[in-house]
Amino acid sequence: METSLYGYSGKILWIDLSKNKITSKPLRKETVLRYIGGKGLGAKIMYDEVPAGISPFDPSNPIILATGPVNGFVLSGAAKFCAVFKSPLTEAWGESQCGGYFAPQMKYAGYDAIVIVGRAKRPSYILVEDEDVKIMDATHLWGMDALETEEAIKKDQGKRFQVLSIGPAGENLVRFACINHAGGRQLGRCGAGAVMGSKKLKAVAVQGSGTVEAARPEAFEEFRRWLNEEVKEKLKVLRELGTSAIMAATYSTKTLPTRNWTEGTFEGFERINAEAVMRFVKRSKACYGCLVACGKISRIDSGPYAGTEVEGPEYETLFALGSLCGIDYLESIIKANELCDRLGLDTISAGNVIAFSMECYEKGILTDKDTGGIKLEFGNHAAVLTMLEKIAYRQGIGDVLAEGVKKASKIIGKGAEKFAVHVKGLEPPGYDPRGL
């Protein structure tokens, strides 16, 4: 590493699962100055290394885990890193961001980015401990849910390892499968979990013993103190209520997507808004070094879903598995959140594809024969839970919906495309642009 490259570890780790080959390359100063942050670095690697026109499930499609110059410092909001890849949903650029604790350990292990290409012959996981990098057998983990996988690796390798893992949805190449981390954080969008599944890669675990250095430590410390004071006051609502607080804004501006984007307000708003969620919240959870602690751990103590515990539900989950599907039964949304985390499904795309299928069902495009007797009506919360399992395991109509809204609408035909809401194949997040 060039000694003046502060904020970076100075190396990129390359792993080819087909060739069982592990190498590292120096990170060049001119690269990080021109392509700042994990997203910039990931884009540069993608542009240089990925052949044009490849399928997202081609072994040469990489998963690039990339960090930026503030990852590794104890600083509010500085835990986020990204995954860059060709998306199975859009078959174009795919990126996804995740908080938690993975990025600092990557930096401490000495890597600013980890580039994974190829396809393993059998289920595998990658274990990184500083310069000791191994491709491990994951046959015993294949079939486990994403949270069980993380726990199993920590039990085998030690609690200090930070783990990214996929669930059955990623193994089964569901095009909106996500990568899970730390029990409740995700690289959620664009189908990164399916790309991992296509590589027979169940997990990546990392821990490091190094540090990152600031160019001007005293100025950095001053900035850190200033930022901590700022977030205490300016992000007070996020600290107290988490992202569920966003629902009040989308509801009041009539941009809360409801019943597959046919409406912008939801009559069940008060039963699924931040105040309702807080009845289930037991404690807050912070990403590495963050004073905001916007993560909220919810638990259901009684009723049919008693014992369910999740990090969330975040606003995006509340809208996608709530108002978008016409559902105001909060306990079932929390349960659906837990199922998505375990199965490894992006809650935004999962909610969108189920809402789309509900509209198709209500319009007679999908029938009981197509759904195997499931009444896919808006508001049917039990049907949502059933559909999540069917999608993750590609059973029945779930096999079609696992393709995402755009491709599923083409398979279903009969005018279904008219009700398929997507942007070039990607299901939108929870803000109706018509009201903005």
Go through 74-84 and write b for each residue having 16 or more CB atoms within 10 A of its CB, e for each that does not: ebbbbbbbbbb
Nearer to ligand SF4, 205 or 294 (CB): 294
Tokens representing residue 327 in the block: 């559902």
Go through 200-217 and write b for each residue having 16 or more CB atoms within 10 A of its CB, e for each that does not: bbbbbbbbbeeebebeee
Q: Which residue has the tokens 């103590």?
A: 301
Show the binding pattern over residues 299-338: x = contacts ligand SF4 (CB under 6 A), - = does not.
Answer: ----------------------------------------
**At 93, phi and psi to the nearest 5?**
-50, 130
Q: Is 187 a binder of ligand SF4 (CB under 6 A)?
A: no
# of chain residues touching ligand SF4 (CB under 6 A): 10
Q: Is 294 a binder of ligand SF4 (CB under 6 A)?
A: yes
Q: Is 182 a binder of ligand SF4 (CB under 6 A)?
A: no
Q: How far is the CB of 287 from ligand SF4 (least distance, A)?
A: 3
Q: Is 103 a binder of ligand SF4 (CB under 6 A)?
A: no
Site for ligand SF4 in 49-78 (CB under 6 A): 77
Q: Is 79 a binder of ligand SF4 (CB under 6 A)?
A: yes
Show the binding pattern over residues 249-288: x = contacts ligand SF4 (CB under 6 A), - = does not.
Answer: -------------------------------------xx-
Using the rule CB under 6 A, which residue among 7, 37, 42, 99 binds ligand SF4?
A: 99
**Distance between CA 65 and CA 314 in Å, rounded?**
23
Tokens representing residue 74 in the block: 């104890």
Nearer to ligand SF4, 292 or 421 (CB): 292
Rounded to the nearest 5 degrees, what angle is found at the Cα of 286, between the Cα atoms of 432 and 350? 35
Any alpha helices (H) in 128-257, and if so which ranges?
146-157, 168-171, 192-198, 217-234, 236-241, 246-252
Q: How far is the CB of 69 from ligand SF4 (least distance, A)?
A: 16
Tokens representing residue 158 in the block: 């030690």
Residue ranges that bind ligand SF4, judged by CB under 6 A: 77, 79, 99, 286-287, 290, 292-295
